[in-house]
């Protein structure tokens, strides 16, 4: 089915879709912000961010703010391109069924 070609399996999970949507709309987001916005557990968020990081779609920067650890996530250029293609494929699919 050619109309499904642009869909990316990396984004078929609602948490990963949410992570990418937040990061596409913002320059970056930290772990606590993502966890709060997506209403997921630490482990769940860590698993999904690791999946996106291994795919090369986001990067992770760890630092300390005062004495507290802070993990910041940023979309990579390839992640931005892949996500835009995925959204375009979803829009095309909706047009076929609309």
CATH number for the domain that contains residue 55: 1.10.10.10
Please state, in angstroms and rounded to a whole number, the distance separating the CA atoms of residues 95 and 50. Answer: 33
Instruction: Answer whether residue 3 is part of any domain.
Output: no
Residue 68 in any domain: the answer is: yes
Instruction: Report if residue 1 sits inside a domain.
Output: no
Domain that holds residue 28: 10-97
Whole-prediction pTM value?
A: 0.89
Which residues are paired to 30 by β-bridges? 72
34: left (phi over 0), alpha (psi -120 to 50) or beta: alpha
Structural domain includes residue 15: yes
Residues 32-90 pLDDT 10s: 999 999 999 999 999 999 999 999 999 999 999 899 889 999 999 999 999 999 999 98
- CA dist 27 → 50, 63, 94, 96 (Å): 19, 17, 28, 33
Total domain count for the chain? 1
- Number of helices (H), then strands (E), belonging to the chain: the values are 4, 3
């Amino acid at each position: 089915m050619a109309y499904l070609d642009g869909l990316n399996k990396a984004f078929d999970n609602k948490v990963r879709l949410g992570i990418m949507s937040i990061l596409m709309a913002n320059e970056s987001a930290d772990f606590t912000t993502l966890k709060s916005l997506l209403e997921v557990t630490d482990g769940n968020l860590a698993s999904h961010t690791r999946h996106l990081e291994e795919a090369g779609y986001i990067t992770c920067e760890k630092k300390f703010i005062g004495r507290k650890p802070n993990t910041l996530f940023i979309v990579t250029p390839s992640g931005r391109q892949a996500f835009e293609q995925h959204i375009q494929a979803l829009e095309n699919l909706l047009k076929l069924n609309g």
